[in-house]
Structure 1
Amino acid sequence: MKAVTIKTAVKSWPVEGAFTISRGSRTEAVVVEVHVCGGGITGKGECVPYPRYGESVEGVCLQIAQAAMELNGMPDRSLLQKLVPAGAARNGLDCALWDYEAKSCGRRVWDVAGLPVPEPVYTAYTLSLDSAEAMGNKARANAHRPVLKVKLGGEGDMERIRAVHANAPSARLIIDANEAWTVEQYIRLAPQLAEQGVALVEQPLPASDDAGLGSIERPVPVCADESCHDRATLAELAGRYDAINIKLDKTGGVTEALALCAEAKERGFIIMVGCMLGSSLSMAAAHLVAQQASFIDIDGPLLLAADQDCPLQYEGSLVHPPRPELWG
């Protein structure tokens, strides 16, 4: 293998308006772009440091710089898995190494991975947390989309769901409370949610308090997000969750995401592939894993006011595989 150099660049992508969840609002998506360069070839990856997991832009850049020194010029994905824990830093570097390998051998990344040629997939479209009236209006404007993901936050959530369903009655709904509920709220709301077209509830309880999900009926399937990172976290999820949300910034890249997907399926979990708020470069890698998912949420670029020069092609909610100029 030829020796490579590894570089990082911090980029900020403006959000179209604002993006609000139960933890707060953002007007920009700050990402770390990773470049693996060698022999006139540059492989790229993008990661999104997430404060919820104790990550910062500075910390992630330092992790990548340390990993680059330990890799010592070798584009070795297997070694990377041992050097860096699951998280954003490993994700950016892992995805860049996949891209570099594909470009180096003149093949598409799915061929390198031994996977079928990917098909276009339908993504959910996220409705940011707001008043019931505002979310109903946003749902009406996006009623043509087959799946809507609804951000919730506690008080007034049922009114929000009713407003969304009334304005987009044909859409399948995923709701995401981002750890803002209690067991009692789920028990009270779940039967009503099923009547409003809700197909999945994402992370209703704090990850530290989700044991209570194992002792209750779940009339609407519950999906682990903050509670599921990599294969090491799967064992504790059995009996508590029906589905898992695989995000590359949690797994630490495509390598672990594919392994997590395979093991989770063996254990009987429904697969969702999600994303942090990032550009088409992040979504391109997630698109590869999304081929095996029942629920897909890779709408990040649809929520931004700007994107990569060679972005993913979105036709409404239909997302096409990335062109080689972007990734893979």
Structure 2
Amino acid sequence: MTSMKLVTLAARIERFPIAGSFTISRGAKTEAVTVVVEVSHDRLTGRGECVPYSRYGETPEATLAAIQAMQQALAGGLTRQALQVAMPPGAARNALDCALIDLEAKSAGLRAWNLLNRPTPGERITAYTISLAAPEAMAAATAKAAHRPLLKIKLGGDGDPERIAAVRKAAPESELIVDANEAWTEANLEHNLAACATAGVTLVEQPLPSGKDEALARIRRPIAVCADESVHDRSSLAPLRERYDAVNIKLDKTGGLTEALAMADAAQALGFEIMIGCMVATSLSMAPAMLVTPQARFVDLDGPLLLTRDRDHGLRYDGSLVYPPDSALWG
């Protein structure tokens, strides 16, 4: 991006109710708290959205402040490439990066994928998340979603073999992927992996805590294991080659689409399979992530499906199919 002088910045915190609640091993929440950025130049406005995540020490208020602190730099002509150095990876940079790409695309009269010289995204099957609960409750929730071809099952440690067996019985035809959100231990790792293999699970995401996942390199993994909390941007890829088979790329971790696309290229070069994931958020968060889907084996962009309402011009979902964004939304 060439320098755009007099870029103005606006940012705010927005809240979207979740349908019911969203429960993982670290707890439950009933709303998605996002930070929305708007960057404007020459009567055009680009938008981006992020979800600050307490697991990484982020809060909505601190994220908003970090974004607002970039106003002077943006007004002075800070480019998107310079932004990658000016801010660390994380939610704040993600929202700004995506807003700047949206603004660049509008200014050039191009769709974002053409601007960035990436493949045109098409419709993809997205995973649909089943929250962590007792086996009976998870089976009931799964039964309602058993028509979906790909389900992502949240697990949480003790009792997980019973949970995944109950889920599989309730959805005998669906492909299952599992997310333990760091809740397993070395003591139950192999037992839980075996239970997932028995249930025909395709992939297990982040079974052990980040930084305490060395055991994955010492065991025979019966199914593919995907890094999430253990991987953030390109710099974190190489040390994981012996422990993981796949990596979950999330724009809120990479610090935006610019790094996410570079990370996807690097991950493929290292032999990792790719999942493109999301936090629970609106279609404005999902839209930039659609540009990574041509490289992804797994697409997990169901955030808007978990909300009671999405924003205007949201992504089109047809069952489990998700379609690329209209330019009225982003890019």
**Which residue number in structure 1 is paired with residue 157 of structure 2?**
154
AA partner of residue 247 (structure 2): I
- Aligned-partner Cα distance in 2 for 1:42–1:61: 18
AA partner of residue 88 (structure 2): P
- Aligned-partner Cα distance in 1 for 2:72–2:220: 50
Q: Is the 8 A contact 1:2 1:39 kept in 2?
A: no
- Aligned-partner Cα distance in 1 for 2:244–2:72: 39
Are 1:222 and 2:225 counterparts?
yes
Q: Is the 8 A contact 2:89 2:253 kept in 1?
A: yes
**Which residue number in structure 1 is paired with residue 299 of structure 2?**
296
Alpha-carbon deviation of 1:133?
A: 0.8
**Which residue number in structure 2 is paired with residue 305 of structure 1?**
308
**Which residue number in structure 2 is paired with residue 33 of structure 1?**
36
**Which residue number in structure 1 is paired with residue 58 of structure 2?**
55
**Which residue number in structure 1 is paired with residue 171 of structure 2?**
168
Q: Is the 8 A contact 1:64 1:93 kept in 2?
A: yes
SS at 1:100's partner residue? Answer: helix
- Aligned-partner Cα distance in 1 for 2:104–2:167: 44
Q: Is the 8 A contact 1:75 1:97 kept in 2?
A: no
**Which residue number in structure 2 is paired with residue 275 of structure 1?**
278
Q: Is the 8 A contact 2:315 2:324 kept in 1?
A: yes
**Which residue number in structure 2 is paired with residue 106 of structure 1?**
109
AA partner of residue 193 (structure 2): A
SS at 1:96's partner residue? Answer: helix
**Which residue number in structure 2 is paired with residue 211 of structure 1?**
214
SS at 1:19's partner residue? Answer: strand
Q: Is the 8 A contact 2:6 2:76 kept in 1?
A: yes
TM-score, structure 1 as length reference: 0.98
**Which residue number in structure 2 is paired with residue 64 of structure 1?**
67
**Which residue number in structure 2 is paired with residue 140 of structure 1?**
143
User: Matched residues, percent identical?
Assistant: 55
1:254 to 254, 257, 268: 257
Residues 35-76 of structure 1 show CA distances to partners (whole Å, capped at 9, x for unaligned) of: 001111110000000000000111111111222323334251
SS at 2:143's partner residue? Answer: helix
SS at 1:115's partner residue? Answer: coil
After superposition, the CA RMSD in angstroms is 1.0
- Aligned-partner Cα distance in 1 for 2:51–2:76: 24
**Which residue number in structure 2 is paired with residue 90 of structure 1?**
93
Are 1:286 and 2:304 counterparts?
no
Alpha-carbon deviation of 1:207?
A: 0.1
Residues 199-258 of structure 1 show CA distances to partners (whole Å, capped at 9, x for unaligned) of: 001000000201121111111111000000001111211101110000000000000000
**Which residue number in structure 2 is paired with residue 327 of structure 1?**
330
**Which residue number in structure 1 is paired with residue 182 of structure 2?**
179
**Which residue number in structure 2 is paired with residue 198 of structure 1?**
201
- Aligned-partner Cα distance in 1 for 2:293–2:208: 25
Structure 1: any 5+ residue segments left out of the alignment?
A: none
AA partner of residue 210 (structure 1): D
- State which drifts further: 65-74 or 110-119: 65-74
AA partner of residue 203 (structure 1): Q
SS at 2:194's partner residue? Answer: helix
- Aligned-partner Cα distance in 1 for 2:228–2:182: 9
Structure 2: any 5+ residue segments left out of the alignment?
A: none
Return structure 1 stretches of 4+ with deviation > 6 angstroms.
none
Q: Is the 8 A contact 2:254 2:260 kept in 1?
A: yes
SS at 1:208's partner residue? Answer: coil
- Aligned-partner Cα distance in 1 for 2:46–2:76: 14
TM-score, structure 2 as length reference: 0.97
AA partner of residue 204 (structure 2): V
AA partner of residue 132 (structure 1): P
- Aligned-partner Cα distance in 1 for 2:213–2:70: 33
AA partner of residue 108 (structure 1): R
Q: Is the 8 A contact 1:171 1:197 kept in 2?
A: no
Q: Is the 8 A contact 1:67 1:84 kept in 2?
A: no
SS at 1:198's partner residue? Answer: coil
